[in-house]
Amino acid sequence: MARQISEVLIDDIDGGNASVSVQFAYAGKSYEIDLNKRNAKKFDDVIKPWITAGRRVAAKSGTARKSTTTSDPAYLAQVRAWAKENGLSASARGRIAQQTLDAYKAAH
């Protein structure tokens, strides 16, 4: 006996057929919504300014990971400025010593 199983996406906004599942996160919670092309375009248009103004962050996992801020140029500039103000060495370019990063984190 043959069996065929079909998955049909239903647009979560208007109840019609959906063509895409969209994943997004807000306020620390992840969501998924099924949308047709028109509603997906509306979603993209509305969220685009927020995405453009924001910054990407690494997904959280259950394991402890080193902070991704150590690769963020703005964060590193803050650390360098703080280190200079507090008499610690931090070169203008390249890696910052872990000891300096740890001192900055402890102070903030």
42 belongs to a structural domain: yes
Angle (deg, nearest 10), helices 98-107 and 73-85: 80
The separation between CA 60 and the C-alpha centre of its own chain, rounded to angstroms, equals 9
CATH number of the domain to which 89 belongs = 4.10.320
Q: Which domain holds residue 39?
A: 20-53
Q: How many domains does the chain have?
A: 2
86 belongs to a structural domain: yes
With 0.85 as the threshold, say if the pTM is over it: no
For residue 49, give the amino acid letter: P
Cβ-count burial of 69 within 10 angstroms (0-12 exposed, 13-18 middle, 19+ buried)? middle
85 belongs to a structural domain: yes
10 belongs to a structural domain: no
4 belongs to a structural domain: no
14 belongs to a structural domain: no
Helix (H, G, I), strand (E, B) or coil at 53: helix
Return per-residue pLDDT of the chain as tens, 108 residues. Answer: 888 888 889 999 999 999 999 999 988 889 999 999 999 999 999 999 999 999 888 766 655 555 556 678 888 888 888 988 888 887 788 888 888 888 888 888
> How far apart, in whole angstroms, are the C-alpha atoms of residue 99 and residue 97?
5
CA atoms within a 13 Å half-sphere pointing along the CA-CB vector of 19? 6
61 belongs to a structural domain: no
